[in-house]
Amino acid sequence: MAQLGKGKLNYRCPSCFMRDLDIDMFYDKEKKEFCCIRCQYRGSEKDVLEKNEMVRFRYGAMLKRFDFGLEDMEWTNDPAVEK
Ligand SMILES: [Zn+2]
């Protein structure tokens, strides 16, 4: 783990973002890759951006699906979920 530092831009780890964790990644100057200290994810800037885009899309779709299925789910009694 040499040459790790903050990149010029901070990107969040797409893999952790999937699990609801907002983790900043470090930049590996030698390999020109971003890497996550938490889940071992690493990828180029392009890869990170693509995956983040994908996660956002999937995440949005998931939330929508919850919206549509609300009546069938018992956990909607949870005030945090109910709108
Ligand atoms: Zn991660």
What DSSP element (H or E) covers 32? none
Structure confidence by residue, pLDDT tens digits, 26-61: 999 999 999 999 999 999 999 999 999 988 888 777
Q: Does residue 49 sit within a domain?
A: yes
Q: Who wins on pLDDT, 21 or 76?
A: 21
Q: Does residue 61 sit within a domain?
A: yes
Q: Does residue 78 sit within a domain?
A: no
Structure confidence by residue, pLDDT tens digits, 63-73: 665 555 555 55
CA 52 – ligand 1 centroid, Å = 11
59: containing domain: 4-69
What are the φ/ψ torsions at residue 5 (nearest 5 degrees)?
Answer: -160, 175
Q: Does residue 82 sit within a domain?
A: no
Q: Does residue 9 sit within a domain?
A: yes
Domain count, the chain: 1
CA 23 – ligand 1 centroid, Å = 6
